[in-house]
Amino acid sequence: MTTSLYKLTATISLAALIGTAACSPSGNKTAGRAMPGSPVAVASAEQKDVPLEISAVGRVEAISTVSVKAQVGGEVKAVYFKEGQTVRKGERLFAIDPRPSEIALRQAESLLEKDRALLKNAEADVARYANLVQKDYVTKEQYDALVANRDVLAAAIKADEANVSNVRLELEYTDVRSPIDGRTGNLLIDPGNIIKANDTTAAVVIEQMSPIYVAFSVPEQNLPRIKEFMAKTPLKTEAVPAGNGQVPVSGVLTFIDNAIDQSTGTITLRATFDNPGGTLWPGQFLNVRLLLTTERGVIVVPSQAVQTGQAGQFVFVVKDDLTAEMRPVEVGRAYGEESIIAKGLKPGERVVTDGQLRLAPGAKVEIKAGR
């Protein structure tokens, strides 16, 4: 009996001791510590100017493409350019053997001189017979025949002069010159070969490199806005060649097609670029940005800050006391990796960009370092 009473007393004392220790200041450190907030990344809402632009994929086109063909036939005596060389308008490209044309020119000039001499004699006969017919020394028929002969010779001289001009032109054509400024392609005929006049195959193709076109297509619903802004000012267009670190090239929209492509629902546009350094190349595909206007002083946040719920789009705003506020917003449009907020935010407010899944309205947050 005494032993059992002693065990019961010891058990109660031990329990009291444990309870006292639990209530002591040293044992209350864990219980009194505040729970940490949810770690989040944040960014500040910024107010800045944002361009309103349309993006598309474009293709570079030469303004002029000339297939150079010979206008007279003959042996190619010389080639004065190298493949891929830049040539100027009027610069000599080929020399075709001029001797046949030179001979033909001498023949034509000789015939012209002959007919001029005959005409001179015929005019003298007409003048002489004019007095004789008045005195009835010759018949009227003889005189009329002389006049007709003179007129025939005068007409023959006109034909001879035209023939001389034509042969001289053919002689000029033996020097084949570039009709435009541009860059030559593959040379398809070598010296010593016989070239045909107006052959189906070009001797060389020249592409105009500066200025140059970039053609691209946009959805037809963009056409009213493009026409609206184009009526106010020329629309700047940027072309970005493929590849890392490429610098955009600036041009101006100069052409809107006169019909919408019914099969794709798009309309073709064309911008003109000066291209002095030859950055753009015919046939090249690249990204195009058509700048319509610039929206001034709009509020933007990183797009990952915008969430979508049952009631619409919202962001979590971090308040000064490091609690999260669920804020409904109206998103105007996206620009790159940012979203333009039309309503719901002020400049400088901090929004959560990472960690939204762990948040609820009023929840404590802990901002990650470097944010």
**pTM for this entry:** 0.71
Does 339 fall in a domain? yes
- 332 shares a domain with 271: no
- Tokens 């998103």 belong to 331
Per-residue pLDDT, 15:
38
Q: What is the CATH number of the domain that holds 147?
A: 2.40.50.100
Q: Supply the angle between the helices 99-134 and 140-173 in degrees, to the nearest 10.
A: 160
DSSP secondary structure, 80-132, as one string: ---TT-EE-TT-EEEEE--HHHHHHHHHHHHHHHHHHHHHHHHHHHHHHHHHH
Q: What is the CATH number of the domain that holds 346?
A: 2.40.420.20
Domain termination residue (choose one: 156, 175, 205): 205
Does 157 fall in a domain? yes
Does 164 fall in a domain? yes
- 325 shares a domain with 230: no
Does 310 fall in a domain? yes
- Total domains, the chain: 3
Name the β-bridge partners of 36. Answer: none
Instruction: Report the percentage of the chain scoring pLDDT > 70.
Output: 89
- 195 shares a domain with 92: yes
Does 5 fall in a domain? no
Per-residue pLDDT, 28:
47
- 288 shares a domain with 182: no
- Among 27-36, 109-118, 123-132, 230-239, the minimum mean pLDDT is found in 27-36
- 176 shares a domain with 268: no
- Kindly tell me if the per-residue pLDDT of 7 is higher than 80: no
- 188 shares a domain with 83: yes
- 321 shares a domain with 284: no
Per-residue pLDDT, 20:
41
- 73 shares a domain with 194: yes
Domain termination residue (choose one: 261, 280, 295): 295
Per-residue pLDDT, 26:
44
- CB contact set of 276 (below 8 Å; sequence gap of 6+): 210
pLDDT classification of 13: cutoffs 50, 70, 90 = very low
- 137 shares a domain with 94: yes
Q: What is the pLDDT of residues 270-289, one digit of tens each?
A: 999 999 888 999 999 999 99
pLDDT classification of 370: cutoffs 50, 70, 90 = low
Per-residue pLDDT, 371:
46
SS3 content of the chain, % helix, strand, coil (to 5): 30, 35, 30
- 196 shares a domain with 235: no
Q: Is the dihedral of CA 253, 255, 260, 264 positive or negative?
A: negative
- 254 shares a domain with 126: no
Does 30 fall in a domain? no
Q: What is the CATH number of the domain that holds 259?
A: 2.40.30.170
Does 7 fall in a domain? no
Q: What 3-state DSSP class applies to 7?
A: helix
Does 111 fall in a domain? yes
Enclosing domain of residue 260? 54-63+210-295
- 74 shares a domain with 178: yes
